[in-house]
Structure 1
Amino acid sequence: MADTTAKLKTPTDLNSNATKSVAEAMNIALADCFALYLKTKNFHWHVSGPHFRDYHLMLDDQATQILGVTDAIAERVRKTGNTTLRSIGDIARHQNIADNDKDFVGPDAMLAELRDDNLKLVEALREARERAEEAKDTATSSLADDWIDQAEERAWFLFEASRKG
Structure 2
Amino acid sequence: MPQKEQIQTPTKTGSKRSPTALGFSEHAVSEISETLRHLLADVFSLYMKTKSFHWHMTGRHFRDYHLLLDEQAAQIYAITDDIAERARKLGGTSLRSIGDVARHQRLRDNDRGDLTAREMLTELREDNSLLANLLRDAHEVCEKHDDVATTSMIEVWIDQAERRAWFLREIVEQS
User: What amino acid is the match of 1:133?
Assistant: E
**Equivalents in 1 of 2:160, 2:174: separation in Å?**
24
Q: Which amino acid aligns with 1:126?
A: R
Equivalent residue runs for 1:146-165 within 5 Å:
146-164=156-174
Deviation above 2 Å: which 4+ runs of structure 1?
Answer: none
1:104 is matched with which residue?
114
Alpha-carbon contact 1:41-1:59 (below 8 Å) kept: yes
| Distance (Å, rounded) in 2 between the aligned partners of 1:37 and 1:114 | 10
> Could you tell me how far 1:118 is from its partner in structure 2?
0.7
Q: Which residue of 2 aligns with 1:145?
A: 155
The answer as to 2:62 corresponding to 1:52 is: yes
Query: Which one-letter code corresponds to 2:43 in the other structure?
Result: C
Gaps of 5+ in 1: 1-9
User: Which blocks of at least 5 consecutive residues in structure 2 are unaligned?
Assistant: 1-19
CA distance in 2, matches of 1:89, 1:103: 23
Residue correspondence of structure 1 range 6-85 to structure 2 within 5 A: 11-85=21-95
> Quick one: distance in 1 between partners of 2:100 and 2:21?
25
- Post-superposition CA distance 1:93-119 (Å, at most 9, x none): 010111110112100000110000011
Q: CA RMSD in A?
A: 1.2
What CA distance in whole angstroms lies between the structure 1 residues aligned with 2:33 and 2:25? 12
Percent sequence identity is 53
Contact 1:47 1:56 in 2 (8 A): yes
CA contact (8 A) 1:25 1:124 kept: no
Q: Which residue of 2 aligns with 1:127?
A: 137
Amino acid at match of 2:134: A
Number of aligned residue pairs: 156
1:57 CA drift (Å): 0.3
Deviation at 1:125, TM superposition (A): 1.0
Larger relative contact order (Cα-Cα within 8 Å, sequence gap ≥ 6): 1
- Rg larger in structure: 2
Aligned-partner Cα distance in 1 for 2:157–2:54? 21
